[in-house]
Amino acid sequence: MCGRFKLSSDDDTLHAEFGIVLAQDYQPRYNIAPTQSVLALLSDGETLRPAALRWGLIPPWEDSPARGARLINARAETLLQKRSFRDAFEHRRCLILADGFYEWLRDGKTRTPMLIQRPDRRPFAFAGLWERWGRGEEKIFSCTIITVPPADVVRPIHDRMPLILQRADQEKWLDPGAGAAELQQLLLPYTGQLEAFAVSTLVNSPANDSPELMEPV
């Protein structure tokens, strides 16, 4: 499960990595939590555009958006089996931008927050799904992060991790014409370099959002 991540890169770094121009009010985030807004990339097959999506996918048939807080992750192995994710997997895929994510290492009753990121601190993209939900004039665009079995560095900490797409696979993930069989070939554990280290327990509260949260302790 991925329940917290960060996007602390500046807009110049994100432009260099993904070729996008962000709104002037873009601000780095150090402790992104469910139901909060995340920065995602959507494509119609020709144009790549940034979008703000609520984290926690709300299926269109739900009467209330409250259920969305529980659908923050989608297991890669069951995307085509789950009604909540099947249609979005086929038609509404997105990239969710991040440069690190948090997991909690358990030792008895002790839970130590760990930050997992690339050693070069560069941003990356989680594979995500998005949905439209609306009742009357109320409309919400929401998303979920796909999870896979962990990479080696994550395995001692948790048995799942977000699906980080290799740069060469990001365009294929967003391609509206990609079929399910082709897409399922991308649902693999990350093989790039990652590092993990303990950080402050301040990250336990979503109310805390500052650079201090990503410093090793």
pLDDT score recorded for residue 205: 97
Q: State yes or no: is 2 an active-site residue.
A: yes
What residues does each domain of the chain span? 5-99+123-150+163-190
The residue annotated as part of the active site, out of 2, 94, 131, 143, is: 2
Sheet with strand 195-198: strands edge to edge = 29-32, 5-7, 100-107, 110-117, 195-198
Average pLDDT rounded to a whole number, residues 17-42 = 94
Structure tokens at 74: 């989608």
Q: Which CATH class is domain 5-99+123-150+163-190?
A: alpha beta
pLDDT at 68 over 90: no
16 three-class SS: helix
Residues 6+ apart with CB under 8 A from 64: none
Q: What is the pLDDT of residue 190?
A: 94
**Active-site choice (94, 103, 131, 143):** 103
Q: How far is CA 193 from CA 3, 6, 153, 215, in A?
A: 21, 18, 9, 19
| Average pLDDT of every residue of the chain | 95
Mean pLDDT of 126-135: 96
Contact 108, 36 (CB under 8 A): no
pLDDT tens by residue, 91-114: 999 999 999 999 999 999 999 999
d(CA 138, CA 88): 20
